[in-house]
């Protein structure tokens, strides 16, 4: 056969449903291309693909190829021309969503296709569309251009006539029946092309991905690299997949994990979500404030074999603002529409949302919304990260929709970014409370250092030193130079870690807008000159993405560090962070002690906040100071004098 069709096999003994579908597709295409004896070329079928760095990460099938001599005679008729024209197939790319529902469990709603899942109807058109754009973004980031990608849904258990009946009255949708051929794929391609751009050349219309012949080579390079977890990621995955979930009890109570930074709350939250999803087939959502943490957790899930479809068990991570703004759009129509004064507008809109949910919605309405495709709230359990920093209204809305018994929270006690006012989730509800006091992230010397720093700053803050993870060191320096970085990299390599496990943190002054209006790390070129390749998380468009290159270290602003960790963490211009937090402090005396002055409250806020970056490293903490004579510089110098064996003062 002139057109060669190849399945990109993961392993020789793979018998997954996706692989079986790939084999079935291969057989249909071989038969179909047989009707074009002059055609030649190569077609590839990938299956069970994971798109690292994307919100929608799972692709069931990916069909792509380049052919010549494949012309469909008198096939296409435009709206403005009665004559049917030939269509030549040159190159193509299809992202295919597989569905094994029978015809009775498929329906249309307006222009969307729905499938039944556990008695509810789920929108698969949105899922398919999201897959297409995830793949285009994934491809573009690697190759610098976006190909034309066609997304289709293959209903493997629905015959052509049945599917036609389901779609009666619609203008056609991106659905394929159990059996189809090249012609059906081309129809889908034409339907998704902009007619203004679909122009004939020498009397023939053409299907291609607009990549000047480079597409298949670029695709081959993209798909041949299947990332294998290593370093800290591999260790986390081993812990994550442990079946035992310790002291958590599932009952009719709100579950609260409480503990200070470094006690493992967020990881424990994710571990329990994974257990509930896998063991009980539940849909679990984790909500957190920090978009950098969203990206970090999504990266971890990239290596985990768990579906992310709308009609299956899953674990998903989402910024809490995205969740509540989604509700606002559907229920009240009032939501922050731009980044200008976003937080003030958000606070106003959350009040309106709470009023609507509290007064106008009952349990039947909630069930209807879960079945609706208008808003994505169909979750069996919601996991709340950094729960101490949530507002009363956000908490009450979650309680109203899901009930306390379906909510599991991680309470960081005194880590605040958003409100500065502690949230008490346990009020007026029965609670299953789990307290975590032992340091689970940092090696013993680092925990000792952070405890000493907190005491020097006058804070009532302490985490128990974990003697099962001994060692750790702290370096306090002036400028972060090339030799310093070489020592950090050598440390990581010696301990089996990768560059992803190196975490840089910078204050706002380290982020600038260049002449082209692009915002990012001020010393990016300087770092590049020192051989430091970074994933710049200070760039707004990368906030919910994560590093996919093995050479990249992560770099974020301090404000984005909550929940993150690194084998080595470098806190750049740490004294500038202290000044910055002092300058932006706004007074909130409500929860303070009666005898505390404004300066006492300000100092407490600033130094409690400073503990957050200091608790990010596992093995090594590097702190750079712009002014060693600053108050925080003197505090650090005193601690270095007290613990010379593992705290080095090299300023």
**What would the pLDDT profile of 402-461 be if each residue is shown by its tens digit?**
999 999 998 877 665 555 567 888 888 888 888 777 877 899 999 999 999 999 999 988
pLDDT digits (tens, 9 = 90+) for 195-254: 666 777 777 888 888 666 778 888 877 775 555 666 777 777 767 666 545 455 556 788
Query: Taking the domain 444-650, which CATH number applies?
Result: 3.40.50.300
Q: What is the pTM of this model?
A: 0.72
SS3 string of 213-267?
CCHHHHHHHHHHCCCCCCHHHHHHHHHHCCCCCCCCCCCCCEEEEECCCCCCHHH
Phi, psi (5° rounding) for residue 342?
-60, -50
Q: Angle 72-77-82 (CA atoms, 0-180°, nearest 5)?
A: 130
Closest to 303 in 3D by CA, of 130, 496, 500: 500
**What is d(CA 546, CA 294) in angstroms, rounded to the nearest whole number?**
9
Torsion angles phi and psi, residue 403, rounded to 5: 85, 140
Antiparallel, parallel or unpaired: β 85-102 and 150-157: parallel
The whole-angstrom separation of Cα 446 and Cα 569 is: 11
pLDDT at 224: 58
pLDDT at residue 172 in the model: 65
Coil, strand or helix at 554: strand
The radius of gyration computed from the CA coordinates of the chain, to the nearest angstrom, equals 28
Q: Which of 197, 206, 191, 120 is nearest to 153 (CA)?
A: 191
Angle, in degrees to the nearest 10, between helices 231-240 and 265-280? 50
Residues in the chain: 651
Q: What is the rounded distance in angstroms from the CA atom of residue 124 to the CA atom of residue 373?
A: 9
Tokens of 266: 């967020």
How confident is the model over 528-574, as pLDDT tens digits? 999 999 999 999 877 777 777 778 999 999 999 988 999 999 999 99
Structure tokens of 109?
């709603």
Give the separation between CA 474 and CA 476, rounded to whole angstroms: 7
Per-domain residue ranges for the chain? 3-224, 231-435, 444-650
Whether residue 332 contacts residue 353, with contact meaning beta carbons closer than 8 Å, is answered with yes
444-650 and 231-435 share a CATH fold: yes
Taking alpha carbons only, the member of 363, 451, 449 closest to residue 623 is: 449
Instruction: Please state, in angstroms and rounded to a whole number, the distance separating the CA atoms of residues 576 and 617.
Output: 20
Report which of 330, 400, 393 is spatially closest to residue 362, judged by C-alpha positions.
400
Neighbours of 35 (CB within 10 A): 12
| Spans in the chain with pLDDT lower than 70 | 1, 10-14, 52-53, 55, 79-81, 171-172, 195-197, 210-212, 224-230, 238, 240-251, 305, 309-311, 373-374, 414-421, 587-595
Residue 265's pLDDT is 83
| Token pair belonging to 320 | 């809490």
Measure the CA–CA gap between 270 and 274, rounded to whole angstroms: 6
What local confidence, expressed as pLDDT, does residue 244 receive?
45
CATH code linked to domain 231-435: 3.40.50.300
- List of residues 6+ apart from 81 with CB closer than 8 A: none
519: tokens are: 């915002």
User: Partners of 571 in the beta sheet?
Assistant: 505, 623
DSSP-derived 3-state class of residue 498 = coil
Please tell me the distance from the alpha carbon of residue 620 to that of residue 214, in angstroms, as a whole number.
44
């Amino acid at each position: 056969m002139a057109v060669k069709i190849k399945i990109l096999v993961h392993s020789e003994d793979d018998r997954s449903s996706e692989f079986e579908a790939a084999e079935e597709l291969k057989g249909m295409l071989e038969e179909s291309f047989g009707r074009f004896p002059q055609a030649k070329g190569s077609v590839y079928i990938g299956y069970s693909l994971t798109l690292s760095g994307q919100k929608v990460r799972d692709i069931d099938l990916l069909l792509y190829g380049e052919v010549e001599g494949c012309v469909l005679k008198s096939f296409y008729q435009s709206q403005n021309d009665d004559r049917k024209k030939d269509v030549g197939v040159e190159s193509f790319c299809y992202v295919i969503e597989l569905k094994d529902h029978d015809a009775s469990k498929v329906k249309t709603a307006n222009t969307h296709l729905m499938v039944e899942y556990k008695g509810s109807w789920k929108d698969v058109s949105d899922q398919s569309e999201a897959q297409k754009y995830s793949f285009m973004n994934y491809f573009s980031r690697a190759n610098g251009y976006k190909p034309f990608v066609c997304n289709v849904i293959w209903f493997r258990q629905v015959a052509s006539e049945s599917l036609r009946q389901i779609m009666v009255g619609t203008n056609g949708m991106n659905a394929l029946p159990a059996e189809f051929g090249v012609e059906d794929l081309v129809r889908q391609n034409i339907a998704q092309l902009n007619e203004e751009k679909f122009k004939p050349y020498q009397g023939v219309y053409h299907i291609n991905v607009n990549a000047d012949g480079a597409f298949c080579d670029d695709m081959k390079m993209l798909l041949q690299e299947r990332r294998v977890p290593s370093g800290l990621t591999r260790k986390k995955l081993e812990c994550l997949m442990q079946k035992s979930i310790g002291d958590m009890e599932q009952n009719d109570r709100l579950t609260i994990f409480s503990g200070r930074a470094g006690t493992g709350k967020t990881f424990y939250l994710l571990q329990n979500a994974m257990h509930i999803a896998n063991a009980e087939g539940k849909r679990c959502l984790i909500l957190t404030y920090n978009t950098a943490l969203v990206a970090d957790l999504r990266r971890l899930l990239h290596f985990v074999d768990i579906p992310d479809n709308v009609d299956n068990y899953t674990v998903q991570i989402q910024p809490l603002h995205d969740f509540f703004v989604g509700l606002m759009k559907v229920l009240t129509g009032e939501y922050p529409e731009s980044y200008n004064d976003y937080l003030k507008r958000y606070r106003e809109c959350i009040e309106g949302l709470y009023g609507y949910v509290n007064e106008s919605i009952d349990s039947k309405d909630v069930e209807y919304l879960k079945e609706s495709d208008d808003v994505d709230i169909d979750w069996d359990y919601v996991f709340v990260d950094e729960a101490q920093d949530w507002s009363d209204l956000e908490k009450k809305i979650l309680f109203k929709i899901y009930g306390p018994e379906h909510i599991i929270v991680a309470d960081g006690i005194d880590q605040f970014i958003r409100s500065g006012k502690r949230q008490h989730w346990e009020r007026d509800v029965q609670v299953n409370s789990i307290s975590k006091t032992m340091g689970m992230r940092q090696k013993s010397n680092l925990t000792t250092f952070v405890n000493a720093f907190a005491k020097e700053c006058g804070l009532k803050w302490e985490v128990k030193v974990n003697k099962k993870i001994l060692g750790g060191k702290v370096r306090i320096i002036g400028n972060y130079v090339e030799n310093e970085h070489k020592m950090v990299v050598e440390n990581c390599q010696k301990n089996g870690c990768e560059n992803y496990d190196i975490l840089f943190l910078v204050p706002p002054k380290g982020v600038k807008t260049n002449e082209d209006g692009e915002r990012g790390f001020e010393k990016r070129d300087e770092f590049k000159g020192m051989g430091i390749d970074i994933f710049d998380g200070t760039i707004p468009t990368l906030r919910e993405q994560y590093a996919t290159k093995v050479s990249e270290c992560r770099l974020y602003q301090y404000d984005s560090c909550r929940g993150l960790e690194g084998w080595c963490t470098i806190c750049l211009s740490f004294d500038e962070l202290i000044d910055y937090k002092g300058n932006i402090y706004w007074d909130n005396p409500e929860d303070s002690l009666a005898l505390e002055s404004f300066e006492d409250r300000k100092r407490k806020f600033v130094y409690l906040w400073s503990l957050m970056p200091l608790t990010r490293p596992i093995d090594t903490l590097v702190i750079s100071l712009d002014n060693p004579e600053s108050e925080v510089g003197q505090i650090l110098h005193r601690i270095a004098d007290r613990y010379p064996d593992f705290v080095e003062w090299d300023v």
